[in-house]
Amino acid sequence: MTRVGVRDALVVADLRVSTLTGDEVLRGVSYDIAPGEVLALVGESGSGKTTAGLAALGHVRRGLRHDGGSVRVRDSAGQATDLLALPHAARRDLRGSTVSYVPQDPASSLNPALRVGVQIREVLDAHGYGDTGDPSADRAARVAEVLTEVGLPGDETYQRRYPHQLSGGQQQRVGIAMAFACRPGVVVLDEPTTGLDVMTQTLVLDTVARLTAHHDAAALYITHDLAVVATVADRVAVMYRGEIVETGTPAEVLRAPSHAYTRTLVDAVPHLDADTALPDVAEADAALTVSGLSVSYGDHAVLRGVDAHVRPGECLLLLGESGSGKTTLSQCVAGLTDHYDGTVSLGDEILPASVRQRSAEALRAVQYVFQSPFASLNPRRTVAQSVAVPLETLTDLDRAARRERVAETLERVRLAPGLADRLPDQLSGGERQRAAIARALVTTPRVLLCDEVTSALDVSVQATIIDLLCALREELGTAMLFVTHNIALARHVADRVAVLREGRIVETGTVDAVLGDPQHPYTRDLLANTPRMVS
């Protein structure tokens, strides 16, 4: 798509990056972004989008080399500079002032030992912001101003907060404030809304759009969420195996994709309004029942008298914002949080609150799949060794029987036999999540707890994991509690939905009832703030 008469803030031309052994990672990538424009760079893990995004900052990761092409940025004086042609020190001087970066995980990028105001001030100090006149006063004023620009209080009290005293959305907006503090011409945003609930995601996306336009900055928005693309981007570039295979407006790319790979990505996106029929679940006694569950930390109530049940073979989707109590509820069911009032029952049996007090049979019957398989799998154990651990601790099977059960379970989750002896870092994100599911399924549980298991996955990988979970619960009759903030998954994975707000279930019912005719204002707000593909 050619635009006439625009002086682009960022021009990437024929960019080539390879591994030290010669394998191509980027194969002649070219794109440009005008001031005030947002270009979304989309593609699966391994497509090269993060490598291309880091190159826009003049950075090539260790183990890779720049083989050709240029990354030209234009400063406030209109001077264009090829970042990759500069010495390392000169590139570093431009990062934060001319080009800046917003990472995916603000919690890990913010210094937990420094107050947020100090962290924003450090960016200004490092780049000599406001050196004419009274630089100290200029920088203090800019800290307050940029916090206000991202929708946060700019007063001294708020500036003195530490990152842990902020919500995930507030932390991400502090990260955006740091990126825009020196008024850069180019901002690279790397999956900045991954893991955020839809209400918080909407605030962050609005902040990005507003600041990009206000500061006339060119924004490169890296994401795998095509619904977000439709909300925030002016143009879209689709990457596949190190190349840009399609470019256009969101309407052009998402409504009528021309490349087969783009069509595959679009088809894999879960749709809020999809007509997806799941197998009927027969009426039966509940496999899992939660009654009057309440959890408090000091004066702060996290759960307030929650009642819920899941039947064998049924999936209950537990929906709500960050801080609503979703994960706390699932951890109480698993026995990982034991200071609660109320009861958790497996069939007719009331389970002890603590996992340490539960029988081996109860532990085998309730299994947990965590959000991050990389964090939950032991990096020093092979896939087969990790999957075998529950059998070693919870059953009396001998080594041969354990080996056979592991092989059967890996086959059940569609993991190739050759992957059994690999370590987690030798697997893709989707393969790691399949391994984590296999470890949970190896004891043939009656209840499976899935905590945001697809939030960090590409749309195509997410679709395969959802299909797998649906097939497994139908095949095994497993009851599933699926914790998520992504309401668009409901029609694809769940039979019923329970909406949690501030520790209370405010609405529950079948997927069609809750999504088609929501009764509670909070549910209507969640639906209204859920990004949709271009229609």
Instruction: Profile the chain (535 residues) by mean pLDDT over runs of 10 residues.
Output: 58 94 92 94 86 91 91 80 92 90 80 94 90 82 93 93 86 90 92 79 86 91 85 92 93 91 83 56 79 92 94 93 88 94 95 95 93 81 95 94 94 87 84 88 93 79 83 88 87 92 94 92 89 67
State whether the Cα torsion 124-129-134-140 is positive or negative: negative
- The DSSP symbol for 33 reads E
Q: Which two tokens stand for residue 350?
A: 């009331």
Please state, in angstroms and rounded to a whole number, the distance separating the CA atoms of residues 143 and 156.
10
Q: What angle do CA 362, 505, 151 make, to 5 degrees?
A: 120
With CA atoms as reference, report the closest residue to 45 among 416, 374, 423, 457: 457
Tell me phi and psi for residue 72, to 5 degrees.
-105, 125
Contact 252, 71 (CB under 8 A): no
The one-letter code for the residue type at 57 is: L
| Residue position matching structure tokens 């090269």 | 48
Q: Which two tokens stand for residue 406?
A: 């592991």
| Residue position matching structure tokens 């309401």 | 487
CATH of 288-528 among 3.40.50.11310, 3.30.300.340, 2.40.50.100, 3.40.50.300: 3.40.50.300
Contact 233, 208 (CB under 8 A): no
CATH of 10-268 among 3.30.565.10, 3.40.50.2300, 3.40.50.300, 3.50.50.60: 3.40.50.300
Q: Which two tokens stand for residue 438?
A: 């296999």
Q: Which two tokens stand for residue 481?
A: 């509690």
End-to-end CA distance of the chain: 21
* pLDDT value at residue 404: 95
CA 147 from chain center: how many Å?
24
The one-letter code for the residue type at 399 is: R
pTM: 0.71
Look at phi and psi of residue 114 and say left if phi exceeds 0, alpha if psi is from -120 to 50, else beta. beta
Please state, in angstroms and rounded to a whole number, the distance separating the CA atoms of residues 248 and 234.
9
49 to each of 74, 226, 521, how far by Cα in Å?
22, 14, 38
| Residues 6 or more apart in contact with residue 53 via CB below 8 angstroms | 41, 188, 190, 220, 222
Please state, in angstroms and rounded to a whole number, the distance separating the CA atoms of residues 384 and 128.
54
Say whether 42 sits in a helix, a strand or coil: strand
With CA atoms as reference, report the closest residue to 242 among 62, 390, 44, 398: 44
- The DSSP symbol for 520 reads S
Helix segments in 344-481, DSSP class H: 360-365, 373-376, 383-394, 399-412, 429-441, 459-476
Pairing outcome for strands 349-350 and 341-346: antiparallel
The domain ranges of the chain are 10-268, 288-528
List, in sequence order, every beta strand (DSSP E) within 60-163. Answer: 64-74, 80-82, 99-102
Tell me phi and psi for residue 96, to 5 degrees.
105, -25
Please state, in angstroms and rounded to a whole number, the distance separating the CA atoms of residues 149 and 130.
18
| CA atoms within 13 Å, Cβ hemisphere of 374 | 9
* pLDDT value at residue 386: 95
Please state, in angstroms and rounded to a whole number, the distance separating the CA atoms of residues 290 and 353.
12
